[in-house]
Amino acid sequence: MNGRLAVISALTALSGAVALASSVSVLVSAQAAEPRPAAAQLISDAKNAGLTALPSPPSIPDAATGARIALGRRLFYENRVSQDGNVSCAHCHQAELAASDGLPKAIGVFGKLNPRNAPSVYNAGLQFKQHWRGDRESLEDQAEKSLLGPASFGNPDYAEPMGKLKAIPGYTEAFTAAFPGEKDPVTAKNWGVAIGAFERRLLTPGRFDAFLAGDEKSLSTEEKNGLRLFIGLGCVACHNGPGVGGGSFQKFGVVEDYWKETGSAPPDRGRADVTKDEADLYVFKTPMLRNVSKTAPYFHDGSVAELSRAVRIMGKVQLGRDLSDREARDLVAFLGSLTGAAPKEFSPLEPFPDPTQRK
């Protein structure tokens, strides 16, 4: 870098409110005396800009925690608790599709269409809120409430799915092992706690993490150029932290209305429909970009099929920039380095037998 100054233009991200994105310039000086090689400089620029490696999965301190994770894994694949008997979490969060479903909008019980696109559950435990509009506080809250979602599991109340679980041989014992000392452990709350414990293990470190840890060769030249742009253009102002997103609410359409580019009709009002506050109009959770090249189609309504187009739309409506073909290509290349291997535990266990097989 020849001791030259690298200028990082970052946007100040005001969480919770309409993103009043004002441009600030942060000067990051390369160490003046001894110029650092370009890759080492890029690693330090990335860290200074708030990009961090994924943590390791939480450790399993005791047998009950192990039993809880195993139960959560089992429940994630359990379709007998849905109204039509065909829908489990894995119906919409599939291993082959990086834990999303490949559809613009997810389809649940009795073919019902969800209002929004199914994001990946990989790394989701790192986010500050769940769902596009942040209307779920945690993984546990999300899993519990999805039992009642009219277009997910479709249950009228919690008693019905819990009754179904109790009738399946093996579940009462598995809940008891996971929640020792509880008299009636088969509850919707514990369903959420067990599934959350399982999901927190679904981390997908990849080449970008190796790069941040100092392995300069783990990214190609194109990917490194993309990372430089990601920092320099200001994508990182909103997409940062270990998830490369998932840490703030931002307006979709800072510079111009998003639906002019995405064709979304009618436009989703975003968080304003959750908080009933017009200041939250068109505000969404900044999504994580981990595994994003595997989770098409894009945006909250799956309105955009191609990642390169999604990136250009971001440039335009969030930053007021028309990206060149080369810039878009490099950014897409960088986003590809955020793909990690599917976690081994993201696969079903042998299901417990049907109630009719009870002796």
**What residues make contact with ligand HEC under the rule CB under 6 A?**
11, 19, 21, 87, 89, 91-93, 106, 108, 114, 116, 118-119, 121, 124, 127, 130-133, 139, 142-143, 146, 152, 195, 233-235, 237-239, 250, 252, 254, 284, 286-287, 289, 292, 295, 298-300, 310-311, 314-315, 318-319, 331
Helix axis angle, 63-76 to 171-178, nearest 10°: 140
Choose between 132 and 208: whose C-beta lies nearer to ligand HEC.
Answer: 132
Choose between 11 and 165: whose C-beta lies nearer to ligand HEC.
Answer: 11
Burial class (CB in 10 A: 0-12, 13-18, 19+), 354: exposed
* Number of neighbours of residue 357 by Cβ within 10 angstroms: 9
Choose between 41 and 82: whose C-beta lies nearer to ligand HEC.
Answer: 82
Choose between 287 and 340: whose C-beta lies nearer to ligand HEC.
Answer: 287
Q: 244 near 335, Cβ under 8 Å?
A: no
Least distance to ligand HEC from the beta carbon of 182, Å?
20
Q: What does the block give as tokens for 354? A: 């049907």
Q: What does the block give as tokens for 303? A: 């309105």
Q: What does the block give as tokens for 215? A: 């392995």
d(CA 196, CA 304): 30
Choose between 131 and 207: whose C-beta lies nearer to ligand HEC.
Answer: 131
Which of 127, 134, 130 is CA-nearest to residue 54?
127
- For 184-226, give the DSSP string: S---HHHHHHHHHHHHTT----BHHHHHHTT-GGGS-HHHHHH
Choose between 218 and 295: whose C-beta lies nearer to ligand HEC.
Answer: 295
Q: 228 near 262, Cβ under 8 Å?
A: no
